[in-house]
Amino acid sequence: MDAATDLRSEINNLSATLNKESDDLTEAITNFDRYLIDLRLGVIATAPISSSTWEDPRTGEAGSEETLLCFTKEEPYGWGLYIITEGDDGHDGQGGRKTGSMRRLRDAPRDERVAAVKHFPALLETIKAIASKELNDVRDARKQAEEFLAQLKITK
């Protein structure tokens, strides 16, 4: 075999392995997504993935961008894990016009999926904290409603 044939064989093997691993990563993301949806907590939570700022040396205009891992409800797709990119483009001289995008994590490019998975624990901690606070709020509201209904002499 010559060097070109060896290289072709190596690239073909690398391609097959990378695609299999990428598919397995997407399956793991989908399983975590499904787990969070099945909890039915109804809370929106985010975890930062990255942020950056920039300045154009020619114009002095500056901008920024932040990427977030988010568990939220987006119509028409419903609850799920999303990648949100927010920022400003720096083109109006006062912080820039707002820019942004949102897409399902499982449909994001591989590099974004790889980066997001590292933030699953932080997202889950945030979800837990928000759900705990909402549980306390619901309990307090239920007690207030029951006390008010008791004053009105309305019972179950």
Strand partners, 72: 80
Query: Is there a domain that residue 27 lies in?
Result: yes
Phi-psi region of 40 (alpha: psi -120 to 50; beta: other; left: phi over 0): left
For residue 25, how many other CB atoms are within 10 A of its CB? 15
Query: Is there a domain that residue 96 lies in?
Result: yes
Query: Is there a domain that residue 156 lies in?
Result: no
Q: Give the pLDDT of residue 1.
A: 64
Query: Is there a domain that residue 133 lies in?
Result: yes
Query: Is there a domain that residue 82 lies in?
Result: yes
Mean of all residue pLDDT scores within the chain = 91
Strand partners, 80: 72
Range(s) of the domain holding residue 86: 3-151
Q: How many domains does the chain have?
A: 1
| Rounded CA separation 66/140 (Å) | 36
Query: Is there a domain that residue 10 lies in?
Result: yes
Query: Is there a domain that residue 8 lies in?
Result: yes
Q: Give the pLDDT of residue 73.
A: 95
| pTM of the complete model | 0.82
Pairing status of strand 98-104 against strand 45-55: unpaired
In degrees, rounded to 5, the angle at the alpha carbon of residue 81 between the alpha carbons of residues 90 and 29 is: 120
Query: Is there a domain that residue 100 lies in?
Result: yes
